[in-house]
Amino acid sequence: MSIGQSNARTGHGHDIFVLSTTVVLPVAFVLFFRAAGSGDHVVALAGTWFVFWGIGIRLLVAGISQVVRPSLTAAGILGIADPAAEKLVRELGIANIAMGLLATASLVVPAWTAPAAFLGAVFLGLAGLRHGSERSRTRPQNLAMVTDLLVAAVALGYLLLDSR
């Protein structure tokens, strides 16, 4: 598949979920809490909500999907039809669940926001760069690349600006 082509195994629902958790919901929550008069600085709000949605919920749901239906990621996103790849995808799913749980729990334990932001910035940043190195990316890989890099950049910005 070439850049921009769709894959029948990953549809618009996947795209909507990824865009919702990495852009729409974090931005909406930041704007809502700013408008509601939250005393938190916009950087702290961005850190809280991008970590929760863009790292936490996104990776938690992706991880569960990878453990339960590994072929969706293997064939539908990575373009690997070999059933043996499903073992590796399940392992990735377990790691995604662990990272997602940490980032999601940071909403309840705010001291975990910075560690979750660091973990997410490293993981999603490197994943986004890896997607970018693919010469012939699929539409799902393009979406993953852009949103991975966006969330990694926001998480890194939060870490740099909030530590001052």
Q: What is the three-state SS of the chain? A: CCCCCCECCECHHHHHHHHHHHHHHHHHHHHHHHHCCCCCCHHHHHHHHHHHHHHHHHHHHHHHHHHHCHHHHHHHHCCCCCCCHHHHHHHHHHHHHHHHHHHHHCCCCHHHHHHHHHHHHHHHHHHHHHHHHCCCCCHHHHHHHHHHHHHHHHHHHHHHHHCC
What pLDDT, on the 0 to 100 scale, is given for residue 29?
97
What pLDDT, on the 0 to 100 scale, is given for residue 8?
45
What pLDDT, on the 0 to 100 scale, is given for residue 5?
35
What pLDDT, on the 0 to 100 scale, is given for residue 18?
93
Q: In which residue ranges of the chain is pLDDT below 50?
A: 1-9
| Residue 9 in tokens | 């195994």
> What pTM was estimated for this model as a whole?
0.88
What pLDDT, on the 0 to 100 scale, is given for residue 6?
38
